[in-house]
Amino acid sequence: MNKKNLIKGIIKYILIFTVILVFNLIVIWLSTEEVWCFGFSYNISHGLIPYRDFNFIITPLFPFIMSIPFHIFGTNILVFHITWAIIMTITLYFIFDLLGEKGWLIFLSYFFVFPIISPNYNLFIYSILILIIWLEKNNKSDYLIGFLLALAVLTKQSVGLCLLLPSLIYYKTPKKLLKRFTSFIVPIIIFVIYLLVTGAMNDFIDLCFLGLFDFLQKNGSLNICIILTFIVLLIIISMIKKDPKNICNYYALAFLSIIIPIFDLYHFFIGINIFILVVLLNYNIKIPINLKLFVFGIITIISILYIQDRFKNKIIYPNNVNNFEYRLLGYDEIKFTDKYINFINKNKDKKIINLTSNAYYFKIITNQDINKLDLINEGNWGYNGSEKLLKEIKNNKDAIFIIDEQSINIKYNQLNKKVLKYIISNGKKIGTINYHNIKFSVYILNSRR
């Protein structure tokens, strides 16, 4: 590579890094999923053990990786996003090496229709798969591929196990499979030893495997994404029949498992992203336009559409919210946060349990230790999770409970509504914390209404 092309390459990836970072920090709103993912890494950086100290229903590689910079730069969401932007920029380097200029279409897919670029373990396992496909296409080391397959299992066990199938189905040479298995088993053994040493093995089995029964029952639903997934599934099967010697087609099929069981737009767009990449790899599709200018034009328009309504209201950036200073928050959210902190400060002598989907956020901004009661989503308490959670609630009858009563009527809200209804039916409402349209109710259980 000559000096001119090297400079162009550096500018290209600096630009990509900047777009990802800025989009995630100030264009899209802070979501509960983002806070949870940040919170899992926050927990680990503070010495908490996954499964034993806080509930987490997937294997823990993503939060472990994302927590590493926290030990150097502190637990701020800006550090979290910078780390993520680096990971995605590296991912795009391999995508461009595979696809050339058509890689801009994959970059656009992270933002178009439904943005999927936020830090998340689903996109992290996608990044691992991109590297595996690059290694397969370039006939690289089976030991390295086996190691990355182990990392995939340690990122999200359900999808990672599905990604093992292409190797088992496609390769018939025992020597090749043995190489992959040898490097695969080492990280898995290390993880098992970690669970045994930390005393988290039983909790891991309960949350990540037995708890799936509760999760599948409460989080699946029939919608358009199921129909679209089935159509993509048929197309990939057709591609495999036409070209059974292309292992990338098998990976595209296996990766559709990421859409199951929720079948929402977010998981759907991540699931079909590998499908789009494989189609671009398989077929010589000619693009008659300047993709770079087209993609950045579309992303600019999307960003303007996202932020135009926000600037009708007052914007505070950076804000004064601890650990979230450089994350764009709504003015009402900031004011509500101030009210919440005032409530906490006035009740320092009492135990306060927040049963809203924002519990992680409020624990992080007030530097409080996070525990299992801070995440009460369906399927996040292991087998018979509702009964375990109710038992825990009943053991804290002297506590103040903060709930969002409106969340009970939201169909796709993941909170355990059985527990929220128990609080309302068996407790006494003693106040509210509210600012404009944001409202939490405050209950105690040691008095009946």
pLDDT tens, position by position, 327-360: 999 899 999 999 999 999 999 899 999 999 999 9
What totals of helices (H) and strands (E) does the chain contain, helices first? 20, 4
pLDDT score at 1: 63
pLDDT score at 449: 43
pLDDT score at 390: 93
Task: Round to whole Å and give the CA distance between 59 and 153.
Answer: 7
pLDDT tens, position by position, 227-251: 999 999 999 999 999 999 999 999 9
Contacts of 400 (CB under 8 A, 6+ apart): 347, 350, 351, 352, 353, 430, 442, 443, 444
The pair phi, psi for residue 155, each rounded to 5°, is -95, -45
pLDDT score at 213: 66
Max CA distance (Å), the chain = 77
Contacts of 329 (CB under 8 A, 6+ apart): 30, 316, 319, 321, 337
Task: Round to whole Å and give the CA distance between 412 and 421.
Answer: 16
Q: Which of 159, 161, 208 is nearest to 184 (CA)?
A: 161
User: Do residues 211 and 257 make contact, with C-beta atoms less than 8 angstroms apart?
Assistant: no
Cis peptide before 318 (omega within 30 of 0): yes
Specify the 3-state DSSP secondary structure of 381.
coil
| Interhelix angle 157-170/121-137, nearest 10 degrees | 20
Specify the 3-state DSSP secondary structure of 30.
coil
H/E segment holding residue 252: helix 247-255
Task: Round to whole Å and give the CA distance between 406 and 425.
Answer: 15
Contacts of 268 (CB under 8 A, 6+ apart): 225, 228, 229, 259
pLDDT score at 114: 85
Place of tokens 């940040």: 38
Contacts of 313 (CB under 8 A, 6+ apart): 330, 331, 332
Query: What is the pTM for the complete model shown?
Result: 0.94
Q: Which residues of the chain have pLDDT under 50?
A: 448-449
